[in-house]
Amino acid sequence: MLSGGSLKTEHFAKKHKKASLHINQSTIEPARAIQEFISRHSIGILNIAGSRESKEPGVYEFTKEILVTALAVATAYKR
């Protein structure tokens, strides 16, 4: 469930007709979901919003790991 800044980001995206994707630690294959999202919507700039580490322990490493994986593959496609 989204709250705080993440919820505001979601509302902002909808208001401005921008694509959005919600990933959490229970998402199956989150890196693949990000890759497909970037490809499907021709994303050039990716905004990341989410909980702080103090509110959701482990979220920093989780986010870093999936972004490194997702973006490494996306970058390889551009070469």
Q: What is the pLDDT, as a whole number, of residue 40?
A: 94
Q: What is the pLDDT, as a whole number, of residue 77?
A: 57
HSE, side-chain direction, 13 A CA sphere, residue 13: 16
pTM confidence score: 0.81
State the sign of the Cα–Cα–Cα–Cα dihedral 73, 75, 78, 79: negative
Direct distance between the N- and C-terminal alpha carbons of the chain, in angstroms, rounded to an integer: 37
What pLDDT, in 10s, does the model give residues 20-75? 999 988 999 999 999 999 999 998 888 888 888 898 899 999 999 999 999 887 66
Q: What is the pLDDT, as a whole number, of residue 63?
A: 93
